[in-house]
Structure 1
Amino acid sequence: MNENNDTNVTQTEKIIDTLDLELEDHTQEFLAQLYNSEYGSYLAETYFGVPLANLITAFLALFFFLFLRKMFTKLTIKILQPLTRRTETFYDDRVLYALKGPISFLFVIIGFNLFFALLFLETELVTKITSSMVMFNIFWVILALTHAFRDAAYHFMSKFNPELAHEMGNFMLTILRGIIMVVGLGSILQIWGINIAGLVAGLGIGGLAFALAAKDTAANLFGSIALLLDKSIRIGEWIRIDGVEGTVEDIGMRTTKIRAFNKSLITLPNQMIANNPIENFSRRKTRRIKMKIGVTYHTTSEQMTNILLEIKTMLQNHEGISQKSTMLVNFTSFDDSSLGILIYTFSNTAVWAKYMEIKEDVNLKIMKIVEDNKAEFAFPSQSLYIEKSDIIPK
């Protein structure tokens, strides 16, 4: 009986000694206790070439890390949070929050690594799988960091154009993430022995077709960059482009949305905006008031002189009229039914509602000036003269 026990112990020690896989000491001790227990002979029996104790421990370890990874992640974050609270910047808090996913996946990697180790699965395939998981998590960390520093990208882009800061910040981050993902994918493919250069060469024709299909998209992206650098339009501005007029509602990476005055939404590709003249009404500080009025031919020259002088004086003293811009009040023409007066000036605001109030006030004061001078506004009329004949019909 003692000889059998000694034999079991010897076999157990050999099984444990073969676990040269850098496992934790407590895992080794746990397995040793199982094999040295009264059930050691049963637990040492192999199934698919793996001792029963190792099978049980492997699945328990895998399920343990899979189901408790969220708890481990919260515990890790809780341990690191006091360190981030000591700093004045909020970027480290963003980094810690962004790393929740990679930290959680790290425990998944540990679980699978321990699972494969306990099952003596040290094949090339297993090594590639675990190495790919580690590489994936590394690039996930890098992507998470780019997401954490997105506010820094917005702040940098706001120096060029505050209205496009978020759009261009997202655009730059998208490009950066795309590069990171391509490099990460290439690194994982290298682990599996796939020749990247050969793969790229094989995709050459497909890449050319894709490039041709994405030509307009690329043109729109470069158009958005041109809008950023030129600062030609901003959200909320009143513009007119190629016959389209309205208020800029949204500036995206591919398209710009304009709300027309009839409330319809017009979407324009950025390529078209970049390649066409932009008339930006919101950038002007003043707005033109141009009108031509007519008084009747009964108006005397003295009345006309007084009307012109009083209208010009009224405009010069009007608080809504720009005094630095051109101002013209002239008797310009003898029209068919009226004496034409041209009034040409500018309001001191470009805001539509205020401009209309100023123009209305100017019109009312012009009416009063004409009335006070006993003149009348002309309207299209026609005089018909009938000649009387002396011939009396017989």
Structure 2
Amino acid sequence: MEYIHDYLLETGIGINDFWADYLAIGIMILSIILLCIIANFITKKVVIRFITHIVNNNKYKWDNILLEKKVFHKLSHVVPAVIIYYFARSFPAYTEIIEKFAVLYIIIVAISVINSLLDALNDIYLNFEISKVRPIKGYIQVAKIVLFIIGSIIIIANLLGESPVIILSGIGALSAVLMLIFRDSILGFVAGVQLSSNDMVRVGDWIEMPKFGANGDVIDISLNTVKVQNFDRTITMIPSYALISDSFINWRGMQASGGRRLKRSLLIDTTSISFCSDEMIEKCKSIHYLKEYIVEREKEIENFNSKNKFDRSNIVNGRALTNIGVFRAYIGNYLQNHPGINKESTLMVRQLEPTENGLPLEIYAFANTTVWAQYETIQSDIFDHLFAVAPEFGLRIFQNPSGNDLKSGLLSGGNSNTLK
């Protein structure tokens, strides 16, 4: 500044000492601005391009992510701030203010760079398979909160000219307020640690949580929320801590097993259950899945009755085949031979406790696929067949009387009265 001032006076262009001071300040400011522009240009057009060339021509992918997050571009903004800070002493009256704002700008740029680095770290981590099991997005968000808090403290301390330690001691008195402000973040962080450490939920898991109307795939796990895309393409946001405090269903085990459970009942009208007549037994022998079963059971029953000398003139005595038992055996053999059923998993047909709606005949098996559409097709095909063949065994499927049933009953009653 003094050199420019003296040079202007020595040129002999008629400038007095007063105007030389102001002109020197103006030239100095323009020189600093020009220097900052040149430095920024060199940094972005030369250094950044050189770094970009190196990044694009190596085999690593992590540095490409750093480039995508503009880490190097944001870092280049430090250069003009450093130049301004260096030349602050050229303006003695304003040195302290210029230095403070230069440092303030450098701190903001540093926070921005670290923030981008954290985003890049998360994206780099997502390229590894372990990211599906142990997501770190929640931890990254906690690190960002800490970064912004510390950055804010340093900025305030810089503007006030005080030590950051003094600012921290003052914030300690506001801890209760901070706990209230960051309540969800703290709960979410604790929940995220538990979810991750206990492997309770992962990105890609199918979860069901009726309380929040969630039934679909987890697409994102963050500090405060778990994002679920439902099967109707809607999005449900569940608080992370709700997965710890409330219950939910995770279908990952089913998906990992390669088969989905099929558990549904046929309601049999109990008035249609009876012993098998000889005619029905002969008819059942012609059914592919029952021929061997009928022959073996007949021998077993005949041997049992002969051994115990039961009088078979009354069908109540001894053992005999029933239409419900034969139908149950048919269902078991039918499922054993069905191409959509997993034969290595549990497979059984059982009777449940009779109700006012009939006798539940439950099928408990596993489809050999976890694909929803295929699973529903397999289940529907099985029950389509069973509903159709039940009358062949003299059984009726229970159904509450419909309007058509009542109408038919009234018409048949009216016709009989007319005949009388």
Structure-2 residue corresponding to 1:300: 275
CA distance in 2, matches of 1:156, 1:93: 13
Question: Would the aligned equivalents of 1:310 and 1:369 in 2 still touch at CA under 8 Å?
Answer: no
1:46 alignment partner, one of 1, 7, 17: 17
Structure-1 residue corresponding to 2:45: 75
Question: Would the aligned equivalents of 1:282 and 1:350 in 2 still touch at CA under 8 Å?
Answer: no
Amino acid at match of 1:171: Q
Matched residue pairs, number? 347
SS class of match (1:256): strand
Give the Å deviation of 1:358: 1.3
Summarize the Cα distance change of 1:48–1:184 in structure 2 as closer, same or farther, 3 Å threshold.
Answer: farther
Of 272-281 and 196-205, the range deviating more from structure 2 = 196-205
Question: Would the aligned equivalents of 2:263 and 2:365 in 1 still touch at CA under 8 Å?
Answer: yes
Give the Å deviation of 1:294: 1.0
CA distance in 2, matches of 1:268, 1:71: 47
Structure-1 residue corresponding to 2:102: 133
2:79 alignment partner, one of 102, 106, 113: 106
Of 154-163 and 305-314, the range deviating more from structure 2 = 154-163
Structure-2 residue corresponding to 1:288: 262
RMSD over aligned CA atoms reads 4.1
CA distance in 2, matches of 1:313, 1:194: 84
Summarize the Cα distance change of 1:262–1:83 in structure 2 as closer, same or farther, 3 Å threshold.
Answer: closer
TM-score for the superposition, normalised by structure 1: 0.69
Amino acid at match of 2:266: K
CA distance in 1, matches of 2:181, 2:108: 29
CA distance in 2, matches of 1:305, 1:205: 77
CA distance in 2, matches of 1:347, 1:55: 84
Structure-1 residue corresponding to 2:337: 317
CA distance in 2, matches of 1:98, 1:340: 65
Matched, 1:246 2:201: no
Give the Å deviation of 1:321: 1.9
SS class of match (1:329): strand
2:361 alignment partner, one of 338, 341, 350: 341
Amino acid at match of 2:14: Y
Alignment of 1:129-168 (within 5 A): 129-130=98-99, 133-134=102-103, 136-137=105-106, 140-141=109-110, 143-144=112-113, 147-148=116-117, 150-156=119-125, 160-162=130-132, 165=135, 167-168=137-138
Give the Å deviation of 1:291: 0.4
Question: Would the aligned equivalents of 2:349 and 2:364 in 1 still touch at CA under 8 Å?
Answer: yes
Q: Which whole-Å deviations, capped at 9, do the CAs of 1:158-212 have from their partners, x for residues lacking one?
A: 56542774633642551463366257437735xx641433333334433332223
Question: Would the aligned equivalents of 1:331 and 1:339 in 2 still touch at CA under 8 Å?
Answer: yes
CA distance in 1, matches of 2:184, 2:118: 30
Question: Would the aligned equivalents of 2:66 and 2:72 in 1 still touch at CA under 8 Å?
Answer: yes
Matched, 1:207 2:175: yes
Summarize the Cα distance change of 1:254–1:49 in structure 2 as closer, same or farther, 3 Å threshold.
Answer: same
Structure-2 residue corresponding to 1:9: none
Structure-1 residue corresponding to 2:244: 274
Summarize the Cα distance change of 1:337–1:206 in structure 2 as closer, same or farther, 3 Å threshold.
Answer: closer
SS class of match (1:47): helix
Question: Would the aligned equivalents of 2:268 and 2:395 in 1 still touch at CA under 8 Å?
Answer: no
Summarize the Cα distance change of 1:241–1:59 in structure 2 as closer, same or farther, 3 Å threshold.
Answer: same
CA distance in 2, matches of 1:173, 1:277: 29
SS class of match (2:241): helix
Alignment of 1:15-26 (within 5 A): 19=3
Of 128-137 and 251-260, the range deviating more from structure 2 = 128-137
Q: Which whole-Å deviations, capped at 9, do the CAs of 1:51-87 have from their partners, x for residues lacking one?
A: 64x2342132144245556534333425743555665
CA distance in 1, matches of 2:54, 2:149: 31
SS class of match (1:318): coil
Q: Which whole-Å deviations, capped at 9, do the CAs of 1:254-298 have from their partners, x for residues lacking one?
A: 122445567665433211212223211343142132203315536
Structure 2 residue ranges without an equivalent (≥5): 277-320, 410-420
CA distance in 2, matches of 1:274, 1:331: 37
Structure 1 residue ranges without an equivalent (≥5): 1-15, 20-27, 384-394
Summarize the Cα distance change of 1:228–1:48 in structure 2 as closer, same or farther, 3 Å threshold.
Answer: farther
2:380 alignment partner, one of 351, 360, 385: 360
Question: Would the aligned equivalents of 2:133 and 2:199 in 1 still touch at CA under 8 Å?
Answer: no
Amino acid at match of 1:347: A
CA distance in 1, matches of 2:174, 2:356: 72
Amino acid at match of 1:210: L
CA distance in 1, matches of 2:399, 2:222: 51
Structure-2 residue corresponding to 1:217: 185
